[in-house]
Amino acid sequence: MAGNDRSREPQTVRAFIALRVDDAVENAVAALVDELKAAGGEGVRWVRRGNLHLTLKFLGPAVPLGKIEPLKTMLQRVAAESAPFELRVRGVGGFPTLEHPRVIWVGLEGEGLGQLARRVEEAAVRCGFEPERRAFTGHLTIGRVTSHRGFEKTRRALSALSERDFGRSRIGAMTLYRSTFAPQGSVYEPLARYELRGAG
């Protein structure tokens, strides 16, 4: 029967490993996005609250499913050795610069973040994934600039908010996500969640 034809199922997935901040911080970031939209917000595709995340490792746009399974085992080990930690969520900026940004971000600071990112990177490379060429910079992407026309209002609003503090968030887990494109934007489906169980 066609309904049981496994050959129709995707053999590759767009996948990444990420962290989510807690509800109070997400509320504060979502309120910022609403402010920026009200201030003009033109030329930017804003990230929906449900999609706010910190990417630890982007695995690729077409990862073979067979490559995901050994990585899951490695991520379990990483989680078992990594202690929960606290993130301070503060500051607003743009990559590469706020003058000519492609991405608008909210900054993240936390002693455990860099260590966890390194462990995840090492695990992924050991499973055959390409090493990341750029230095890890923790951030939450809140928007992607689609046009610099009419962006000046948004830039001024961002500059005024550059030191905004969104609070602190306890990070106790990481998630392996599958991403698919849809008319309303990317849809993220958790494939596995890993509780951080290491000693602090």
Catalytic residues: 53, 139
Cα–Cα–Cα angle for 57, 16, 9, rounded to 5 degrees: 150
Burial class, 88, CB count within 10 angstroms (exposed 0-12 / middle 13-18 / buried 19+): middle
Structure tokens at 128: 């055959």
Of 121, 161, 159, 155, which Cα lies nearest the Cα of 138? 121
The set of residues, in sequence order, having a beta carbon less than 8 Å from that of 121 and lying 6+ positions away, is 56, 57, 131, 132, 136
Structure tokens at 138: 């923790």
